Amino acid sequence: MKNVMTAGAALLLSTSMVQAVGLDRSGQSVGIIFEEGNYAEFSFGYVMPTVEGDDVAAFDPLGGGPTGNVADDYGVVGFGYKRDIDEKMSFALIIDEPYGADISYPVGDSVSLGGTEAVLDSIALTGLLRYKFDENFSIYGGVRAQAIEASVTLDGAAYGGAAPAGVSGYSVDLDRDVGYGYTLGAAYEIPDIALRVALTYISEIEHEFGTSDNFGSTADTEVTTPQAVNLDFQTGIAADTLLFGSVRWAEYSVVVVEPEAFPLGSLTDIDDGFGYTLGVGRRFNDVFSGSVSVGYEPEGDSDLVSPLAPTNGNYSIAVGGEYQLDDYAISAGIRYIVPGDASAETGTPDTARADFTDSSAVAIGVKVAYNF
């Protein structure tokens, strides 16, 4: 079952490259702590979204022209290292990019929102220790350090014109800040049937960003990144065949970005979210395994969303494969995502300013792993 399990892990990696739960990028997986023996991996993913819409005609003097593609392509990298200390204890180091945003409304396309942009970059380092009570039960936990920086520009007629009448043209930079949190979890396993159920808690982390904007903010901006819970499971269902899946919940409603001089409250308005994945992995021979999975994130309570995240839920399908060569394994996966339709509103007032339909994204991921 070993090859099947690693193929499933590779697919989960590739499919997490474009998580839609809030600002998720990596999904904050700790799966490396369960790898056999000493182990290292490097991963890279690339996401190509297409999110296009049309200005609502009632608010566009040109009659509702297209917005252009407002979602930029982006890459995600990850690294992990796991080592056994003895028969009961092991540790792991994980580098990931937990959150991100790359939204840019082309200037000259959308009258309502042209020039609006949001960029968020993050990187995190997690150190984990795992203790096995026996072959069935284990606990794990550790500390997490994450660095985040961001910039936001609000532009276009939807923001009410220039100050003081509106906030069109508002721009803010949040300088890089490092915050600290923790991860805790427990797992139950039955090795003979490749069964494992792991429940992981990721704490929220508080940041204080040095802030500069064109409205005169001087104080730091305090922002909290969400706590989250991941439930991952797998089990053998037939010879050389594995069923796997995951559930993720993240409390994104705590993410409030409210610079001192910005008059309209938070720049963000993100709902708490759930994401679900279910898949099957199959070992075809001693060197090659493959897997297929589907993903789902429910839509939020309203189709009115922030222009900085103009989709609502998603469906996805993914396929992946792994080639094993002695102590090395090369995995690759591709995922096709169909985000839900949504309407962008700016809170000035809560009225749709642009409608986004028929969005899509393609994510590809590659991982190289080494057992030693």
Task: Mark 230-269 as b/e (b = at least 16 C-beta within 10 Å).
Answer: bebbbbbeeeeebbbbbebbbbbeebebebeebeeeebbb
Predicted local confidence at residue 349, as pLDDT? 65
C-alpha 295/C-alpha 293 separation (Å) is: 7
Predicted local confidence at residue 164, as pLDDT? 63
Give mean pLDDT in consecutive 10-residue pieces for the chain, a chain of 372 residues.
46 47 90 96 96 84 82 96 98 98 90 93 99 98 99 90 72 97 99 97 98 91 98 95 96 94 88 94 94 94 89 95 94 95 83 93 96 94
pLDDT in tens, 43-60: 999 999 999 999 987 776
- Say if pTM beats, i.e. exceeds, 0.85: yes
Alpha helices by DSSP H, 2-121: 2-15
C-alpha 323/C-alpha 288 separation (Å) is: 5
Predicted local confidence at residue 8, as pLDDT? 44
C-alpha 113/C-alpha 67 separation (Å) is: 8
CATH 1.10.1740.10 corresponds to the domain 2-371: no
In the numeric block, the tokens 């180091």 are attached to 93
Is there a contact between 274 and 39 (Cβ–Cβ < 8 Å)? no
Is there a contact between 326 and 364 (Cβ–Cβ < 8 Å)? no
**SS3 at position 17:** helix
Is there a contact between 19 and 25 (Cβ–Cβ < 8 Å)? yes
What DSSP designation does 66 have?
A: B
Domain ranges within the chain, ordered by starting residue: 2-371
pLDDT in tens, 160-215: 766 665 688 899 999 999 999 999 999 999 999 999 999 999 999 999 999 999 99
Predicted local confidence at residue 190, as pLDDT? 97
Residue 119 Cα to chain centre, angstroms = 14
Parallel, antiparallel, or unpaired: how do β-strands 328-339 and 288-297 relate?
unpaired
Is there a contact between 210 and 195 (Cβ–Cβ < 8 Å)? no
- Give the CA radius of gyration of the chain: 22
For residue 77 the two structure tokens come to 């990298």
Q: Which of 78, 43, 27 is nearest to 202 (CA)?
A: 27
Report angle CA 226, 228, 229 to the nearest 5 degrees: 175
Is there a contact between 58 and 94 (Cβ–Cβ < 8 Å)? no
